[in-house]
Amino acid sequence: MKNNRSVELFKEAQQFIPGGVNSPVRAFKSVGADPLFITKAAGPNIWDVDGNRFIDFVGSWGPMILGHCHPQVVEEVKKAVDAGSSFGAPTELEITLAKMVVKAVPSIEMVRMVSSGTEATMSAIRLARGYTGKDKILKFAGCYHGHADSLLVKAGSGAATFGVPDSPGVPPDFAKHTLTADFNSLESVRTLVAQNNGNIACIIVEPIAGNMGTVPPRDGFLEGLRSICDEEGIILIFDEVMTGFRVALGGAQELYGVTPDMTTLGKIIGGGLPVGAFGGKKDIMSLLSPSGGVYQAGTLSGNPLAMTAGIETLKLLQTDGFYQKLEEKSAYLAAGIERAAKEAGYPIYSTRVGSMFCAFFTKGEVHDWATAAACDTKAFATYFKGMLDEGIYLAPSQFETAFVSIAHADSDLDKTIAAAGKAFKAL
């Protein structure tokens, strides 16, 4: 694969942008390659500056559930930009999207829009602390909730990929309020709750972990968290930045039938533009400024272009049979990759919930960070490069999720399975 122009651009970028990228995992560093610079995308494909075309399973790290450049979204965003790109004042679009979110997501009675998932989780935690008057929060090792100080403790995604799950620059005085349990272990939660009796404001969890690869919750795990929170007066926050509108219209809480007190959203809600959101019960959300005293604000919050992209995307998700079709495509692909590994005699542990899936390079099962971290990341890197050579664009880390979009055609899925077969055989 020719990538001369990407290599040149990466050299130039490194002189002006730390590490050459504006978000760490994009750098391809952990797979020992140079990142590709992208020029355009359409449907299931992206193209780089050297003219290579790829079948894309990153989907901008989750938002592009419709595939790239859906004509309806593009058309409405073009109209919106003609009417003005930012006002810093309320618009009717914000009410429209808020109503759609309240209708779709079981736990959300009121919602506040922000511009990223990080802002959503950071603000939700502030609100949970303001509501309960308690300081401590409990998260899970390998779960990633953005890069706010108190959440960069045993964090997943890029933090795990680059070996800085506890980032320098986070004062120990901040981190000491963050407790870390093991994903899928209610026992580890109960122990920490008992040790910090009456001092925990919230438990925040990715109901399907997607930032240590894809790790589904074990039966009863989410229900158990709900019971513990009810018994102890702790706010339960589902971080559905990745899973919201992805595994079902109402997210993982709809899929598993467990309703948290608060929910954070991002990615799909912005239809490819920068949007995050957090919402929950009215009595909690009403504490937010200006109706209450917990402060949170943003110049571009509720931006009209971003609201438009979100509204159109959510409309399209509600067309007949959308999630069923996506499920069928995803099941076919994940099963095909698993079969390809088996035929090549290469052991992987395959996980999938809806259109989120992961091939873990391990002989064992993966249920938490310790078992995910045991994967052979060198073999993953070789596989990643093999796939790229075959025109398949995956996230450049073992500890990320692959996303299927509705735009992936059967022929794209077959091509991907064939490429996987070749890549596994070469290991």
CA dihedral of 407, 410, 411, 413, whole degrees rounded to 10:
80
Catalytic-role residue among 29, 267, 329, 385: 267
Which CB, 118 or 178, lies closer to ligand HOZ? 118
78 is catalytic: no
**Tokens for 341?**
């590994």
In the list 6, 180, 211, 362, the residue contacting ligand HOZ (rule: CB under 6 A) is: 211
Interaction mask 115-154, ligand HOZ, x per CB under 6 A: ----------------------------------------
Instruction: For the segment 30-89, give every residue that binds ligand HOZ (CB under 6 A).
Output: 61
Quick count: other Cβ atoms within 10 Å of Cβ 325?
A: 12
Catalytic-role residue among 144, 256, 346, 383: 144
Written as one letter, the residue type at 360 is: F
Any contact of residue 26 with ligand HOZ (CB under 6 A)? yes
In the list 6, 9, 20, 25, the residue contacting ligand HOZ (rule: CB under 6 A) is: 25
Dist. CA 31–CA 145, nearest whole Å? 23
Closest separation in Å from C-beta 24 to ligand HOZ: 7
Inter-CA distances, 264 with 124, 179, 187, 210, Å:
7, 19, 25, 14
Residue with tokens 């073992």: 398
Closest separation in Å from C-beta 117 to ligand HOZ: 7
- Percent of the chain as helix, strand, coil, to the nearest 5: 45, 15, 40
Dist. CA 245–CA 243, nearest whole Å? 6
End-to-end Cα separation, the chain, in angstroms? 19
Closest separation in Å from C-beta 314 to ligand HOZ: 21
For ligand HOZ (CB under 6 A), the number of binding residues is 7
144 is catalytic: yes
Which CB, 21 or 427, lies closer to ligand HOZ? 21
Interaction mask 231-260, ligand HOZ, x per CB under 6 A: ------------------------------
Q: Specify burial of residue 196 (Cβ count, 10 A radius: 0-12, 13-18, 19+).
A: middle
Q: How far is CA 246 from the centre of its chain?
A: 10
267 is catalytic: yes
Which CB, 157 or 308, lies closer to ligand HOZ? 157
Contacts (Cβ under 8 Å, ≥6 apart) of 319: none
**Tokens for 215?**
């790790």
Catalytic-role residue among 48, 239, 261, 412: 239
Dist. CA 190–CA 247, nearest whole Å? 28
Closest separation in Å from C-beta 155 to ligand HOZ: 10
| DSSP of 308-340 | HHHHHHHHHHTSTTHHHHHHHHHHHHHHHHHHH
Residues that bind ligand HOZ (CB under 6 A): 23, 25-26, 61, 157, 211, 400
Which residues are designated catalytic? 144, 239, 267
